[in-house]
Homo-oligomer: A and B are copies of this chain.
Amino acid sequence: MRVLLIEDDHVLGAAIRDHIASNGHGVDWMQRLDDARLALSTMTYELVLLDLNLPDGRGLDLLRELRAARNPVPVIITTAQDQVAIRIEGLNSGADDYLVKPFDLSEMSARLAAVARRSSANPLPVVTIGPITLDLARKVAMVDGKSVVLTAREWVVLQRLLSHRGAIVTKGDIENSLYAFGAEVESNAVEVYVSRLRKKLGRDFVSTARGLGYQVAT
């Protein structure tokens, strides 16, 4: 896997580069946004690790440019602890995940692997459960051959449940997927969405484990 690292701090940058390289991946390390732009327009990367505090421009701009150009490369952003607002903005601008500085290098590796796996290795399969067919990539659902329209939030809940198919997923987990890093929701939103999914996909699609969470049968 080839990773583009955009980080202006020399010490941290070198540490990250060495750590990723030691995991057997190729790393291009850019310290300025313009260099990164050039690299991105020349090469194809499977993952971008982007520091949002760069000296020569806002890293967010680069992210937005990528998404505006329909470049789907997975991007993980890094910010300082107290920059919650920037983090949220980053996720809304199309980042796939984030890391808060200072972070563990091993934790970073785990995130990298997770994001890469999520976006490339598994190209979101078509799932069939009884009479239900779900095309996660194309966001198309069918029940008994009839097309059913799901909303954005409903897909999020569904994806969370299916990514742990057979396991019991807690409401907190689902909530975290729904409201990644923005304002907290203080109501039974998850219950409502489960209810909607059941109405659309069938009552037995999701089972409730009282006090534990929800589960989609294997």
Q: A residues within 8 Å of B by Cβ?
A: 15, 19, 22-24, 81-82, 84, 100, 103-107, 109-110, 114, 118, 135, 137-140, 149, 151-153, 155, 164, 166-168, 170-173, 175-176, 179-181, 184, 209-213
Q: How far is the CB of A92 from chain B (nearest CB, A)?
A: 14
Whether the Cβ atoms of A170 and B22 lie closer than 8 Å is yes
Contact (Cβ within 8 A) A106 B176: yes
Of B152, B153, B166, B179, the contact of A106 (CB 8 Å cutoff): B179
CA distance A171 to B84 in the complex (A): 34
Chain B hits for A170, CB < 8 A: 22-24
Query: Does A139 contact B167, Cβ atoms closer than 8 Å?
Result: yes
- Subset of 22 A-B contacts with CB under 8 Å: A19-B184, A24-B213, A84-B104, A84-B107, A100-B107, A104-B118, A104-B181, A106-B179, A106-B180, A106-B181, A107-B181, A110-B176, A137-B167, A138-B164, A138-B167, A138-B168, A139-B167, A140-B168, A149-B209, A151-B210, A151-B212, A152-B211
Determine how many copies of this chain the complex contains: 2
Contact B140 A172 (CB under 8 A): no
Q: Look across to chain B and name the residue whose beta carbon is closest to the beta carbon of A18.
A: B186
Bound-complex Cα distance A155 to B166 (A): 17
Residues in B neighbouring A15, C-beta threshold 8 A: 184
CA distance A94 to B109 in the complex (A): 22
Inter-chain contacts of A173 with B (CB < 8 A):
23
* B contact residues around A110 at 8 Å (CB): 176
- Across-interface contacts of A19 in B (CB, < 8 A): 172, 184
Which one, B82, B167, B181, contacts A100 given CB within 8 A? B82
A153 vs chain B, min Cβ distance (A) = 8
Cα distance, A110 to B170, chains bound together (Å):
14
Q: Which residues of B contact A100 (CB under 8 A)?
A: 81-82, 107
- Counting from the closest, the 3 A-B pairs by CB-CB distance are A138-B167, A152-B211, A23-B172
**Assembly CA distance A109 to B170 (angstroms):** 12
- Within the complex, the shortest CB–CB distance from A122 to chain B, in Å, comes to 16
Instruction: Contact check, A184 vs B104: say whether CB atoms are below 8 A apart.
Output: yes
